[in-house]
C-alpha cells in the first residue's frame, strides 16, 4: 500500500525535527532550557477547569453534540466580540466552532478554492498554513514580512496580476513568529485591497489577547467592511492556556462560516459538549486571569530583551504574542546558530528558516519559561562570547 499523493506532498513537520534534537539532549542528561516551544506553560485557570468538571458530570454532555456546536458557545463568542472589540456578531450565522483553529486554518482552502486556484501566505509564517494549500491541491505564493516594514506585508509589492488571480490571503497579528502587531490603518488597507481584487481574508487571531505596553491588539473585524471580505479565527489555547483542549472558533462573513460548518458536518459531530461549555465559561467569565497572564508574558519579555542587550545582542522587543524574533550573528545561518546554542549553551530555540525563506537570519524565542530560566539562558549564551566586540567565536571553533 502507498500513501496518497496528498500525504506525500505534505511539508515536513518543522517542529518534529526540533523536538527530536531537544529530546536527544535531554536524554543525555543535559539541563536544556527550551525556548523553542510554543506550548503555554501555565495551567488553565481553575474556574474554567471547574466548569469542565461540572459539565462532564452531566450525562447530557455524554451524547453527541449538535453538528455545529452548542448555542451556548456560539452566543458566548458573539458576546465576547462585542465586549472586547465592539463587533456585532450573529451567533446563528457568523460563528463556526472549531477543533482548535489549526483545524480551521487547514480546512479553509478546501472550503473556498478549487484545484489550481492561488492563495497568498506570509513569509515568515506559521508552517501549517502550507498544509492547507497542499491538502486542497491549490497553488500558493508567499509575500515577505520584512523588519523594515514592521513585519507587515506591502501590498504594492504584489503585482495586480497576482492579486487578481488570488482567491485567499492569510494574515496573523500579533504575529507568529515575529511578535509584530497590526494597526487599524493596515487593516483598512487590507479591506480596500481585498474588495478591489476580490480576495478573501483570513485573519489568524491566535494571540489576540497578548499585547504589550498598554496596547490592545486590533481585531480585523473592527474595520468597517471586514466582514464583507473575510473572517477571523480565535483560539482559546493562548488566551486561557487551553492548548490541549482543542477549541476555537471562526467569526465573520456568513458565507465563509457556512462553508466551514458544511465541511465539518462531514468530518465531525462537533467537539465534546463539556469542553464547549467550559469554553463558554472562559469567554464570559472574569477576564482578570487574562490580564494577569499578559502581565506575566510582558515581564518575561522585558527580562529577555534587557538581558540580551546586556550581553551586546542588538534585539528589538516584540509588541505582542509570546514570542521574540531575534537576529542571528552574521557568520551563522539560523539553523547553524540554533544548533550551536543547543550544543554549547544547552539552550533550545527555533531556527527562523523553519518559518519561511524570509525567516533566515532570525531565531524565534518563546516566553514560556519563568524569568529565572530566561535570565539563565541568556547568561549561558553570553558566556559564548558571540556578541562581544572582542574575540568572537566562529562556527569552526
Residue 396 confidence (pLDDT): 36
The SS3 assignment for 197 reads helix
Question: Where along the chain do its domains lie?
Answer: 5-43+288-382, 64-284
106, three cell numbers: 487547514
Using CA atoms, how far residue 19 sits from 223, 228, 231, 350, in Å, is 39, 41, 32, 10
Residue 140 confidence (pLDDT): 97
Nearest alpha-carbon partner for 159 in 143, 146, 140:
143
Residue 245 and residue 110 in contact, taking contact as beta carbons nearer than 8 Å: no
Distance CA 31, CA 23 (A): 11
Cα 69 → chain centroid: 23
- Output the CA angle 177-305-324, nearest 5 degrees: 5
270, three cell numbers: 462537533
> What string of pLDDT tens digits covers the 397 residues of the chain?
999 988 989 888 777 888 899 999 999 999 999 999 899 999 999 999 999 999 999 999 999 999 999 999 999 999 999 999 999 999 999 999 999 999 999 999 999 999 999 999 999 999 999 999 999 999 999 999 999 999 999 999 999 999 999 999 999 999 999 999 999 999 999 999 999 999 999 999 999 999 999 999 999 999 999 999 999 999 999 999 999 999 999 999 999 999 999 999 999 988 999 999 999 999 999 999 999 999 999 999 999 999 999 999 999 999 999 999 999 999 999 999 999 999 999 999 999 999 999 999 999 999 999 999 999 999 999 999 998 754 444 433 4
Fold held by 64-284: 3.40.640
Distance CA 104, CA 243 (A): 15
Q: What is the pTM of this model?
A: 0.95
Q: CATH code for 5-43+288-382? A: 3.90.1150.10
> Phi/psi class of residue 188: alpha, beta or left (left: φ > 0; alpha: ψ in -120 to 50)?
alpha
Residue 288 confidence (pLDDT): 98
- Residue 356, φ and ψ in degrees, nearest 5: 135, 170
Residue 395 confidence (pLDDT): 37
- The string of DSSP codes covering 165-189 is HEEEEEE-SS-TTT-----HHHHHH
Amino acid at each position: 500500500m502507498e500513501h496518497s499523493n496528498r500525504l506525500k506532498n505534505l511539508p515536513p513537520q518543522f517542529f518534529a525535527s526540533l523536538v527530536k534534537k531537544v529530546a536527544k539532549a535531554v536524554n543525555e542528561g543535559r539541563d536544556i532550557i527550551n525556548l523553542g516551544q510554543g506550548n503555554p506553560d501555565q495551567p488553565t485557570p481553575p474556574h474554567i477547569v471547574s466548569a469542565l468538571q461540572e459539565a462532564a458530570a452531566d450525562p447530557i454532555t455524554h451524547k453527541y453534540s449538535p453538528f455545529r456546536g452548542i448555542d451556548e458557545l456560539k452566543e458566548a463568542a458573539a458576546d465576547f466580540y462585542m465586549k472586547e472589540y465592539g463587533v456585532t456578531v450573529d451567533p446563528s450565522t457568523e460563528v463556526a466552532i472549531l477543533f482548535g483553529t489549526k483545524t480551521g486554518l487547514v480546512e479553509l482552502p478546501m472550503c473556498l478554492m478549487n484545484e489550481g486556484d492561488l492563495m497568498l501566505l506570509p513569509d515568515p509564517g506559521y508552517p501549517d498554513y502550507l498544509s492547507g494549500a497542499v491538502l486542497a491541491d491549490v497553488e500558493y505564493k508567499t509575500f515577505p514580512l520584512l523588519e523594515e516594514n514592521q513585519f507587515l506585508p506591502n501590498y504594492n509589492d504584489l503585482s495586480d496580476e497576482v492579486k487578481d488571480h488570488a482567491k485567499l490571503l492569510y494574515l496573523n497579528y500579533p504575529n507568529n513568529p515575529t511578535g509584530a502587531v497590526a494597526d487599524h490603518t493596515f487593516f483598512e488597507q487590507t479591506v480596500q485591497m481585498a474588495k478591489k481584487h476580490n480576495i478573501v481574508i483570513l485573519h489568524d487571531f491566535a494571540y489576540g489577547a497578548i499585547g504589550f505596553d498598554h496596547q490592545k491588539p486590533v481585531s480585523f473585524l473592527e474595520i468597517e467592511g471586514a466582514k464583507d471580505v473575510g473572517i477571523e479565527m480565535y483560539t482559546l489555547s493562548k488566551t486561557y492556556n487551553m492548548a490541549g483542549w482543542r477549541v476555537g472558533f471562526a467569526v465573520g462573513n456568513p458565507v465563509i462560516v457556512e462553508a466551514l460548518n458544511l465541511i465539518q458536518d462531514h468530518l465531525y459531530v462537533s467537539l465534546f459538549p463539556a469542553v464547549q461549555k467550559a469554553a463558554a465559561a472562559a469567554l464570559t467569565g472574569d477576564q482578570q486571569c487574562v490580564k494577569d497572564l499578559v502581565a506575566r508574558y510582558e515581564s518575561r519579555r522585558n527580562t529577555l530583551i534587557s538581558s540580551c542587550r546586556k550581553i551586546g545582542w542588538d534585539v528589538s522587543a516584540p509588541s505582542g504574542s509570546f514570542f521574540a524574533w531575534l537576529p542571528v550573528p552574521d557568520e551563522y545561518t539560523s539553523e547553524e546558530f540554533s544548533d550551536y546554542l543547543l550544543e554549547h549553551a544547552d539552550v533550545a530555540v527555533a531556527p527562523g528558516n523553519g518559518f519561511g525563506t524570509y525567516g533566515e537570519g532570525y531565531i524565534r524565542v518563546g516566553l514560556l519559561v519563568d524569568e529565572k530560566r530566561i535570565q539563565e539562558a541568556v547568561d549561558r549564551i553570553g558566556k559564548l562570547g558571540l556578541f562581544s566586540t572582542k574575540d568572537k567565536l566562529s562556527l569552526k571553533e
